[in-house]
Amino acid sequence: MTRFAAPIAEQIWDMKYRLKEAGGKAIDLTVEDSWRRVARSLASVEKDSAAWEEKFYGALEDFKFLPAGRILAGAGTGRTVTLFNCFVMGTIPDSMGGIFDMLKEAALTMQQGGGIGYDFSTIRPKGADVMGVAADASGPLSFMDVWDAMCRTIMSAGSRRGAMMATMRCDHPDIEHFIEAKQDAARLRMFNLSVLITDDFMEAVKADGSWDLKFGGKVYHTVEARDLWNKIMKGTYDYAEPGVIFIDRINKLNNLNYVETIAATNPCGEQPLPPYGACLLGSINLATLVANPFAPGAEMDEAKLSDLVATAVRMMDNVVDASRFPLEQQAQEAAAKRRIGLGVTGLADALLMIGQRYGSEEAAATCEKWLKMIARAAYLASAGLAKEKGAFPLFDADKYLASGSLIDMDQDVKDAIRENGIRNALLTSIAPTGTISLYAGNVSSGIEPVFAYAYTRKVLQKDGSRTEEEVVDYAVKMYRDKFGADAELPEYFVNAQTLAPLDHVRMQAAAQKWVDSSISKTINCPEDISFDDFKEVYMAAWDSGCKGCTTYRPNDVTGSVLSVSETSEATPESDEGAEVVYLSEPLDRPQQLEGNTYKLKWPDSEHAIYVTINDIVHGGHRRPFEIFINSKNMEHFAWTVALTRMISAVFRRGGDVSFVVEELKAVFDPRGGAWMKGKYIPSILAAIGGVIETHLVETGFIEGEGMGLKTDPQAEVAVLGQKPRGKACSSCGQYDMRMIEGCMTCASCGYSKCG
């Protein structure tokens, strides 16, 4: 009997969390082996490690507690990877040397895995004086471009590109350029952007007042606050960025506001962190804790929930000691405060199981009740750990208990903290749980509504092909298993596409009351929502106490929504009539490619030229994606690099790129060509064209020699015979990108740059 509720869950485990040897041979033979590995690793620091191993195993069993993917994949493996999910890096100095020191730290951190956040508000604005060199500053946006280029070259742990968050204060002189930066589709693609909104700014917006843009005590410009707010709103209305972070509220409600100031978050926004702050994540699967689901008297099992939370807090506290860190400053910061981010997943499914409509006032009250239960249990467990193992080193009882997030906490919890201290300075956070939610049987992710009752997902197979598989929501499957495959879903079944935006806000605000960090949440808006109504969503988030707001409105830039229905039937995409796929923009490089390397020996040349061509499977067909041309002959260096870049750029744009072969084959060298294999080749470039042609024939892209296009085709952009919407997925090439929990995610293959 398999423990997995769906085939996709087992595939996720096998691809991402199963321990394997370097050659691919499985070490974890079953998911139970993976649970045992993690439980044993996290119990190893305990005095009675055997007893705690069993307790930890019980929490992991049947997907009740879901540590974040880095813990599932890395704990107990002996590998040099961090188990922490997210980092905010050090404060960027306003100097060239300091800026590039920070760039190096970012590269080292992403090399071990984990998303990073930076506040670029500390860099002087464009055009400001640079003392001593008689020059003007290039501004923070120019350095963000450098970070973006670095991120593209660093593959973080698990063969996934790094994700970054960039923040900028709403009073920085370059804030308007920051807001508009990603409206250029080719710029800052490795970043999520968020504006740090202050209380004073919101007051100025509401009062229709003026607003100074300043740096280093100097006012550079004065604008109307409402105009700047509208510019932020228009950016996210049209482009889904930038997000909004209410930074003063975050600092006021921070348990540690007596020892730190926060100016940035991790890429998905649920972890506001100080310089060098790091946080690990884990989620309680509420969908597994409902007693008598879909029956009269269905309710959350409060005793099981409290016990599971206590165990999860202990496990996550042990991760602080078990994990490696890319930088010593990060290790010191984690040890001094012992932050953890315990959250939930399966909330929407659990609400369905007790018969409540996500987004209703009743459901919001239930959400608040469950999150308070989790917060109580977490704080009491951490106070108990402090009694046993000691409080976090920077604990100060009077200052800590006076912090904003503890004002409404029950007195017995405050008394336990005052008496024993507390082991972990912050304990709760609602993280994106897209992949681990699939691993747990496709439970609803985080505190999001059910995304779709059923949809088709493309699954990468070991041979490089992709198969289509229906993915059904956990609660929907449970309902139909209980009442029959044709049972009509009750009216309280709602999904992300049909929910009113203010219902999203209501749920986020209800959860935020008992989350001491923040929440990763996307508020889905209909395409036809008016701009004024859209702005009201953000005002509602501010007025109701949220710490930030991220929305997604489908359009031709951001992409289209997934078609869903109340049946479990998913409509697969059709590729009829689509022989050649043209892309509206170049694809990013997928995580892994297959290809061939060819040796080309030009007569009378001392060194051979090596040509590597890697392919991508797109639209069911293999096509060239990139080329690398290398030679030890330094006379060839410049033109081989140029050719590598140019041809790769052409390959990535899609379409029939065979014209590249004919263009190269037509190049004649005035110094003369050479005879190769009985044929006269007019130049080295022509020889390279021949190598590319051979590869295209062997892979079936063109039918035979001489059958490539003679010129660059002028073709209308088309995707599978239809007009594309939004960006193509950089992993599978499908146009299924949409915003899920604050990060663009592919519904077709699951790829997300946020990890």
Break the chain into its structural domains and give their ranges.
86-264, 594-698
Q: What percent of the chain is predicted at pLDDT more than 90?
A: 61
Contact status, residue 628 vs residue 612, Cβ threshold 8 Å: yes
Is residue 268 part of the annotated active site? The answer reads yes
Contact status, residue 403 vs residue 255, Cβ threshold 8 Å: yes
Contact status, residue 716 vs residue 582, Cβ threshold 8 Å: yes
What average pLDDT does this structure show over 513-520? 95
Distance CA 174, CA 731 (A): 33
What is the reported pLDDT for 607? 78
Distance CA 163, CA 274 (A): 18
> Position of tokens 């995580």?
591
Contact status, residue 741 vs residue 448, Cβ threshold 8 Å: yes
Tell which CATH classification among 1.10.10.10, 3.30.70.100, 3.20.70.20, 3.40.1640.10 matches the domain 86-264: 3.20.70.20
- Residue from 486, 487, 233, 540 nearest 359 by CA: 540
What average pLDDT does this structure show over 466-491? 91
- Between residues 740 and 400, which one has the greater pLDDT? 400
- Residue from 467, 464, 446 nearest 456 by CA: 467
Contacts of 678 (CB under 8 A, 6+ apart): none
> Position of tokens 């100095």?
93
Q: Which two tokens stand for residue 5?
A: 């509720």
Choose the catalytic residue: 86, 151, 170, 268: 268
What is the reported pLDDT for 579? 42
Average per-residue pLDDT in the chain? 87
Choose the catalytic residue: 270, 333, 626, 663: 270
What is the reported pLDDT for 732? 62
Virtual torsion, Cα 332, 334, 338, 340, nearest 10 deg: 180
In this model, does residue 653 exceed pLDDT 80?
no
Q: Work out the pLDDT band at 61, boundaries 50, 70, 90.
A: very high
In this model, does residue 436 exceed pLDDT 70?
yes
pLDDT digits (tens, 9 = 90+) for 552-582: 998 877 775 444 444 433 333 333 333 444 5
What average pLDDT does this structure show over 200-223? 97
Distance CA 120, CA 263 (A): 9
Q: Work out the pLDDT band at 755, boundaries 50, 70, 90.
A: low
In this model, does residue 650 exceed pLDDT 50?
yes
What is the reported pLDDT for 557? 78
Contacts of 730 (CB under 8 A, 6+ apart): 587, 588, 589, 590, 751, 753
Choose the catalytic residue: 254, 255, 257, 266: 266
Highest mean pLDDT (candidates 109-113, 347-351, 591-595): 347-351
Distance CA 352, CA 183 (A): 39
Question: Strands 341-345 and 281-285, how do they pair?
Answer: parallel
Euclidean distance between the first and final Cα of the chain, in Å?
Answer: 30
- Between residues 218 and 709, which one has the greater pLDDT? 218
What is the reported pLDDT for 461? 62
Q: Work out the pLDDT band at 517, boundaries 50, 70, 90.
A: very high
**Count of Cβ atoms closer than 10 Å to residue 573 Cβ:** 16
What is the reported pLDDT for 537? 97
Is residue 468 part of the annotated active site? The answer reads no
In this model, does residue 207 exceed pLDDT 60?
yes
Residue 14 is given by DSSP the state I
Cite the beta strand spans of 346-418 per DSSP E: none
What are the φ and ψ backbone dihedral angles of 416, each rounded to 5 degrees? -65, -40
- Residue from 518, 525, 519, 520 nearest 503 by CA: 525
Distance CA 236, CA 541 (A): 15
Is residue 566 part of the annotated active site? The answer reads no
Contacts of 533 (CB under 8 A, 6+ apart): 501
